[in-house]
Structure 1
Amino acid sequence: MHPLLELRHLRTVEALVDSGGVSRAAERLFLTQSALSHQLKQLEDHFGLALFERKSQPLKLTPAGQRLLTLAQEVLPRVQDACRDLAKLRDGAAGSLRVAVECHTCFDWLMPAMDEYRPRWPEVELDIVSGFHADPVGLLHRDDADLAVVSERDEDEAVHYFPLFRYEIVALLANGHPLADKPCLDASDFASETLISYPVPDDMLDLIRQVLRPAGIQPKQRRSSELTVAILQLVASRRGIAALPAWAVATYLERGYLAARPITARRLYGELYAAVRPNRATLAYIEDFVATVRATCAASLPGIVLL
Structure 2
Amino acid sequence: MCARMILAAISATLSLAATWVVASPEHSKPLPQESLNQERISVLIEGSGTDVILIPGLASSREVWAGLASKLRQNHRLHLVQIAGFAGSPAVPDIDGKVAAPTADAIAEYIRRHRIEAPTIIGHSLGGEVALMLGARYPDRVGRLMIVDALPFYTLLVAPSATSETATPHAIEIRDAMLTASPEQNAAMQNASIARLAKTEAIRPSLVVAATQSDRETVAHAVYELMTTDLRPELNRIKAPVEVVYAYDNLFGVPASNVDALYRNAYASTPEVSFTRIDGSFHFVMFDQAELFSDAVMKFLDK
Q: Normalising by structure 1, what TM-score? A: 0.29
Give the number of the structure whose alpha-carbon radius of gyration is greater: 1
Structure having the higher strand fraction is: 1
Q: Normalising by structure 2, what TM-score? A: 0.29
